[in-house]
Amino acid sequence: MAKTYFTQDHEWLRVEGGVAIVGITDYAQEQLGDLVFVELPEIGRKLAKGDTAVVVESVKAASDVYAPVDGEITEANASLSADPSLVNSAATGDGWLWKMKLSDESQLDSLMDEAAYKAHIG
């Protein structure tokens, strides 16, 4: 069964079978405003926790989205190239950014669950 985690930088991860789907939270997309461009990551790229994985550009600003854990990118959400606004309309659904194979699942222990994240954004 998939389990969802959150970071202090407003990313979410849905993890199942050693693979995480990663995106930004509703809170993050609300802060950014309407997205106009998403720079998707390369398939096969290895990321360390904290590396910039994706750049999202809104009408307000460009923002980095960081790798929440170590891993290798296995897929990028190609539909965002044509329609970056999917991140605004479905941040935790069809607006996901990338999928990654986890290198070290113990890193998930340092992330927040939904209740802790809601307290974090207060």
Cα distance between residue 42 and residue 52, in whole Å = 12
Alpha helices in the chain (DSSP H): 26-32, 79-82, 86-89, 114-121
Give the mean pLDDT of the chain.
97
- Which pLDDT does position 1 carry in this prediction? 85
β-bridge partners, 14: 4, 21
pTM of the shown model: 0.96
Bridge partners of 65? Answer: 54
Please, what CATH class does the domain formed by 3-103 belong to? mainly beta
- Cα distances (Å, whole numbers) of residue 17 to 47, 53, 73, 100, 121: 19, 21, 15, 11, 29
Residues above pLDDT 90, as percent of the chain? 98
Sequence spans of domains, the chain? 3-103
Whole-angstrom Cα distance, residue 46 to residue 42? 9
